[in-house]
Structure 1
Amino acid sequence: MNQVNDILSLIGRAGRNADGSYTRTCYSSAYFEAVSIVEKIMIKLGMATERDAAGNIHGYLPGTGKGLKSIIIGSHLDTVPSGGLFDGAYGVAGGLEVIRRLQEEGKTLRHPIEVYGFNAEESSPLGGTFGSRAVAGLVTSDQPGLEDALKEHGLTVQKILDSKRDFSDAKCYLELHIEQGDYLYNEGLKIGVVNGIVGVIRYKVTAVGHSNHAGTTMMKNRKDAMVAMARLIVEADRRCRQIDDSLVLTVGTIRCWPGSENVIPGRVECTFEMRHMDKGKTDALICDIRKIANAIGTVTFEITKNIDKGAVYCDEHLMKVIGEAAGRADISHVVMPSGAGHDANPMAYRLPIGMIFVPSKEGLSHCGEEWTDPEDLENGAEVLYRTVLALDCED
Structure 2
Amino acid sequence: MSRLNELLQQAGNIGRNEDGSITRLGFSEGYFQALELLKARMKEIGMQVETDPVGNLHGVLPGSDPEAKAIVIGSHLDTVIKGGVYDGMLGVTGAMEVAARLKDEGRTLRHPLEIWGFNMEESSILGGTFGSRCVTGMIDPDLPGYPEKLAKFDCSPEKVKAAKRDISKYECYLEYHIEQGDKLDNADLDVGVVSGIVSVIRYEVTAKGMSNHAGTTMMVNRKDALVGMAKLIVAAEQRARELSDTLVFTVGKIAVSPGQENVIPGQAVATFEMRHMDRAVTDQFYTDIQALAKEIPNCEFEFVNTIAKYSTPCDLRLIKLIDGVCTEKGIGHVIMPSGAGHDANPMAHEGVPIGMIFVPSVKGVSHQGDEYTKPEHVDIGADVLYQTVLKLDENGL
Shorter-chain TM-score bucket reads: over 0.9
Q: Point out the more displaced range, 328-337 or 72-81.
A: 328-337
Q: Does residue 1:209 correspond to 2:209, yes or no? A: yes
Q: Map 1:307-386; keep pairs closer than 5 Å.
A: 307-349=307-349, 350-386=351-387
Aligned to 1:247: 247
Contact residue 2 and residue 101 of structure 1 kept, 8 A: no
Equivalent-residue separation in structure 1 for 2:185 and 2:144 (angstroms) = 39
Contact residue 2 and residue 97 of structure 1 kept, 8 A: no
SS at match of 2:167: coil
What are the superposed Cα offsets for residues 84-125 of structure 1, whole Å, 9 maximum, x if unpaired? Answer: 111110000000000011101111111100111112222222
Aligned to 1:65: 65
What are the superposed Cα offsets for residues 202-236 of structure 1, whole Å, 9 maximum, x if unpaired? Answer: 11111222222211222222221111110110111
Contact residue 13 and residue 22 of structure 2 kept, 8 A: no
Q: Map 1:165-314; keep pairs closer than 5 Å.
A: 165-314=165-314
What are the superposed Cα offsets for residues 298-330 of structure 1, whole Å, 9 maximum, x if unpaired? Answer: 233221111111101111111122122223333
What are the superposed Cα offsets for residues 58-78 of structure 1, whole Å, 9 maximum, x if unpaired? Answer: 111110113000000001111
Equivalent-residue separation in structure 2 for 1:291 and 1:162 (angstroms) = 47
Equivalent-residue separation in structure 2 for 1:70 and 1:361 (angstroms) = 33
The alpha-carbon distance between structure 1 residues 340 and 66, as it changes in their structure 2 partners (threshold 3 A), is same
SS at match of 1:168: helix
Q: Does residue 1:25 correspond to 2:48, yes or no? A: no
Once the two structures are TM-superposed, the CA of residue 133 in structure 1 deviates from its matched residue by 1.7
Once the two structures are TM-superposed, the CA of residue 43 in structure 1 deviates from its matched residue by 1.8
TM norm structure 1: 0.95
Equivalent-residue separation in structure 1 for 2:66 and 2:35 (angstroms) = 31
Equivalent-residue separation in structure 1 for 2:13 and 2:373 (angstroms) = 18
Equivalent-residue separation in structure 1 for 2:158 and 2:296 (angstroms) = 44
Once the two structures are TM-superposed, the CA of residue 147 in structure 1 deviates from its matched residue by 4.1
Identity of matched residues, %? 54
Q: Does residue 1:16 correspond to 2:28, yes or no? A: no
TM norm structure 2: 0.95
Contact residue 125 and residue 145 of structure 1 kept, 8 A: no
Equivalent-residue separation in structure 2 for 1:177 and 1:129 (angstroms) = 15
The alpha-carbon distance between structure 1 residues 223 and 151, as it changes in their structure 2 partners (threshold 3 A), is farther
SS at match of 1:138: coil
The alpha-carbon distance between structure 1 residues 213 and 55, as it changes in their structure 2 partners (threshold 3 A), is farther
Contact residue 206 and residue 303 of structure 2 kept, 8 A: yes
Aligned to 2:82: 82
SS at match of 1:367: coil
SS at match of 1:370: coil
Once the two structures are TM-superposed, the CA of residue 242 in structure 1 deviates from its matched residue by 1.6
The residue type paired with residue 118 of structure 1 is F
Equivalent-residue separation in structure 2 for 1:214 and 1:143 (angstroms) = 44
SS at match of 2:335: strand
SS at match of 2:123: coil
Q: Does residue 1:113 correspond to 2:113, yes or no? A: yes
Equivalent-residue separation in structure 1 for 2:372 and 2:293 (angstroms) = 40
Equivalent-residue separation in structure 2 for 1:358 and 1:2 (angstroms) = 16
The alpha-carbon distance between structure 1 residues 322 and 118, as it changes in their structure 2 partners (threshold 3 A), is same
SS at match of 2:108: coil
SS at match of 2:68: coil
What are the superposed Cα offsets for residues 153-197 of structure 1, whole Å, 9 maximum, x if unpaired? Answer: 133345324422211111000001111111111111111111111
The alpha-carbon distance between structure 1 residues 322 and 2, as it changes in their structure 2 partners (threshold 3 A), is farther
SS at match of 1:49: strand
Once the two structures are TM-superposed, the CA of residue 55 in structure 1 deviates from its matched residue by 2.5
SS at match of 2:73: strand
Once the two structures are TM-superposed, the CA of residue 2 in structure 1 deviates from its matched residue by 5.1
Segments of 5+ residues of structure 2 without an aligned counterpart are none
Equivalent-residue separation in structure 1 for 2:157 and 2:218 (angstroms) = 50
